[in-house]
Amino acid sequence: MSDNIVVDSAGVNPDVDPDPIPEFLLPRAPTDDRLDLGCTVQPKTEAGQRAWARLKTSQTWSDWKVLGAAIAEGRTVAMAEAKTNKPEGRRYNEAFSAWLIKYGFADLEKATRARLLACMENLDAIEAWLAQQEITKRLRLNHPVTVWNAWKRATAKPQPKIDRAAQLLVAWEATPADARRALLTKALVEVSTTSLLQMLPDLAYGARL
């Protein structure tokens, strides 16, 4: 009896294993040196696809969040493909556009997508704010644009009020008497005559220039 063992190209001895593993199930060596990100993005992408299909007939904030998670993951994939740490540049735009087309998100309006991504970047703060709102208001906030705008308005720091009259007073005092006519004309447009008379002690004289 010969000691030679014959195996085929798949590493199987047909005499010992009459039912070899099909070749397509055997491990294959990578053929591309790029990182394969499909396995990590797929679950969120599939959930996002289902949410996007529902959103086309019924708007809910919960579905927008699911879609947002998918789009954010796609952005990460595109950044990896473009070898950049910022979502910008020609290579990134091309990679992200290809990802959107591949997974059926290309018809998501660009402005809505931008607001959705902004919401996802601030999701914890937005969710905390939404939790404090009345149920009727929360039900109305069912789109990323309206959610973003409402949250920004509610949480924006109040801008300091500009005392335009005081600014005009400073300008009046710094302007030579023979050049105040133009300033006076501008001041009368922006501030009431009464306010000007109270603030500018020599306005009566200036008005006669």
| pLDDT tens digits, 19-62 | 554 554 444 444 444 444 444 447 999 999 999 999 999 999 99
The pLDDT of residue 3 is: 54
Position 156 pLDDT exceeds 70:
yes
Instruction: For the beta carbon of residue 61, count every other beta carbon within 10 angstroms.
Output: 20
Q: Which residue has the higher pLDDT, 31 or 8?
A: 8
Position 92 pLDDT exceeds 80:
yes
In this prediction, residues 191-198 reach a mean pLDDT of 61
In this prediction, residues 164-188 reach a mean pLDDT of 72
Q: Which residue has the higher pLDDT, 102 or 162?
A: 102
**pLDDT averaged over every residue in the chain:** 78
> Which of 169, 152, 155 lies closest to 203, judged by CA?
169
Distance (Å, rounded) from C-alpha 35 to C-alpha 37?
6
**Per-position DSSP letters for 72-111, written without gaps between them:** HHHHHHHHHHHT-SSS-SHHHHHHHHHHHHHTT-TTS-HH
Take residue 181 and report the two structure tokens written for it: 């006519």
Q: For residue 61, report the phi and psi dihedrals to the nearest 5 degrees.
A: -65, -35
Distance (Å, rounded) from C-alpha 151 to C-alpha 145?
10
Query: Sorting pLDDT into bands at 50, 70 and 90, what band is 188?
Result: low
Residue 96: CA count within 13 A, CB half-sphere: 22
The pLDDT of residue 204 is: 47
In this prediction, residues 142-147 reach a mean pLDDT of 96
| pTM for this predicted structure | 0.59
The pLDDT of residue 193 is: 61
